[in-house]
Amino acid sequence: MTEEQQSCLRGAGLTKVFGIGRQKTVAVDHVDFNFYEGEIVSIVGESGSGKTTLAKMLLGLISLTEGEIYFQGEKRDISSQRKKQEYWKNIQAIFQDPYSSYNIFNKIDSLFLDCINMRGGKHLPHDKKIELMTEACSFVNLKFEELTNKYPFELSGGQMQRLMIARIFLLKPKILIADEPTSMIDACSRATILEMLIQLRNEVGMTILFITHDIGLAYYISDSVCIMEHGKIVERGTADEVILHPKEAYTKRLINDVPKIHEAWDLSTVKYD
């Protein structure tokens, strides 16, 4: 990270508590971070670590119990619907399950038209809209002519997830939060999705927050990695630092417990509980 790199998203003391009284759960516990523009950051954690809650807080879908979020150096303000819409021009998301990301009653064209409207293109002529949609589809190696007027159930999982990426390409937000985008995709199609995310960063300069439980995936795709456990970030650094030379016990355990191919997977260290 050089000094020229601007801070894109910064969080200070982010906390989220669910429930009241005795049944309080602290999902996110005083998390600080600073993500730079054009960076691919992975947030790695097992289920229950709070990574999805953190993502929703950053997106503005869940309120913060404590803490501040700074976007491009300035404090984030999402107090009104208008301000929220402004904010969402800069930050978008891709979710884990491609099947539930779509409204099954609408054709997929409506998804793109919504994006064009959001970018202020409501009054563009029809051909220009088609041109934008075709360009977005070709970015993800799909042909718009083949997909227009289709319903989501007519597509495969991989195609649906790629269309989600096409949507991001249309919107071109500054930050993309990808919440386990490949965990429901087959191994053969995974590489395509990952490739496209990297391209988004390379061509458009998007900051990508990649949330996953798969530490191998994090290692493959990201510049820097944060490890989350029980709502706290326990270790952070560049991908090489964290994964090849982990310092914390939790990180070491996470890496040891993943089966490997070229290195031995030591089962004798298993401690039963």
Site string for other proteins, 26-45 (x = CB under 8 A): --------------------
What letter represents residue 96's amino acid? Q
Task: Provide the CB-side half-sphere exposure for 215 (13 A, CA).
Answer: 23
Question: Of 16-24, 67-75, 123-131, 212-220, which segment contacts other proteins by CB under 8 A?
Answer: 212-220
Tokens (6 digits) for 121: 């293109």
Tokens (6 digits) for 182: 């490949």
Question: Of 8-16, 126-134, 203-211, 213-221, which segment contacts other proteins by CB under 8 A?
Answer: 213-221
**Phi and psi, residue 225, nearest 5°:** -130, 140
CB 84 within 8 A of CB 118: no
CA dist 155 and 4 (Å) reads 43
CB 189 within 8 A of CB 140: no
Check binding of 20 to other proteins (CB under 8 A).
Answer: no
4 vs 187 by CB, closer to other proteins: 187
Check binding of 265 to other proteins (CB under 8 A).
Answer: yes
CA dist 192 and 189 (Å) reads 6
The conformation of residue 19, written as its DSSP 8-state character, comes to S
**Residue ranges in 215-234 that form contacts with other proteins under rule CB under 8 A:** 215-220
Q: What share of the chain is helix, strand, coil (3-state, %, to 5)?
A: 40, 25, 40
Site string for other proteins, 82-121 (x = CB under 8 A): --xx--x---xx-xxx--xxxx-xx-------xx--x---
- Closest approach of other proteins to the CB of residue 188, in Å: 4
- Name the one residue in this structure whose structure tokens are 């003391």: 13
3 vs 263 by CB, closer to other proteins: 263
The conformation of residue 230, written as its DSSP 8-state character, comes to T
**Residue ranges in 161-190 that form contacts with other proteins under rule CB under 8 A:** 186-190
3-state secondary structure of 155: coil
Check binding of 64 to other proteins (CB under 8 A).
Answer: no
Check binding of 146 to other proteins (CB under 8 A).
Answer: no
- Closest approach of other proteins to the CB of residue 55, in Å: 10
Check binding of 123 to other proteins (CB under 8 A).
Answer: no
Check binding of 70 to other proteins (CB under 8 A).
Answer: no
> In sequence order, what E strands does 130-248 have?
175-179, 207-212, 224-229, 232-238
- Closest approach of other proteins to the CB of residue 269, in Å: 9
Check binding of 80 to other proteins (CB under 8 A).
Answer: no
Report the side by side order of strands in the sheet with 40-44.
91-94, 175-179, 207-212, 40-44, 224-229, 232-238
Binding interface with other proteins (CB under 8 A): 46-47, 56, 59, 61, 81, 84-85, 88, 92-93, 95-97, 100-103, 105-106, 114-115, 118, 141, 156, 158, 186-192, 194-195, 213-220, 239-240, 243-244, 253-255, 257-263, 265, 267, 270, 272-273
